[in-house]
Amino acid sequence: MQTIRVFTLVVMFAFLLLMALSLRPFGRPDNTDMDDYFIEHGQAETGSNNIVSSVVFDYRGMDTLIEGSVLFTAATGVLLVLYRRKENERKR
């Protein structure tokens, strides 16, 4: 059993080391075409001075809206489950 644990640890360490060595240098992305487009055309197309806000709310607005809906639905579901659990405990 101990050998399986050691083997698993060595494999995981080797995997993480390989992944860390294969990362690109920080701040040097592989492809910057889309970044350059947003920087050059973002203010003219969206009217926003903040590039991050223009990407989140204008270019990816529908995606942001759907993400918010999913988070709201999940939070509502969790609150309903907790409320029912509390009601069931009161009845006992």
Checking if the pLDDT of 91 tops 80, the result is no
Task: Give the pLDDT mean for 45-74.
Answer: 90
Supply the pTM of this predicted model.
0.48
Residue 92, Cβ density class (10 Å: 0-12 exposed, 13-18 middle, ≥19 buried): exposed
Work out the pLDDT band at 82, boundaries 50, 70, 90: very high
Distances (CA, A) of 81 to 42, 52, 61, 62, 70: 43, 36, 30, 29, 17
Task: Give the pLDDT mean for 22-41.
Answer: 86
Tens digit of each residue's pLDDT (9 = 90 or more) over 2-17 = 999 999 999 999 999 9
Give me the pLDDT at residue 88, please. Answer: 81
Residue 39 to residue 45: CA distance in whole angstroms: 11
Task: Give the pLDDT mean for 53-76.
Answer: 91
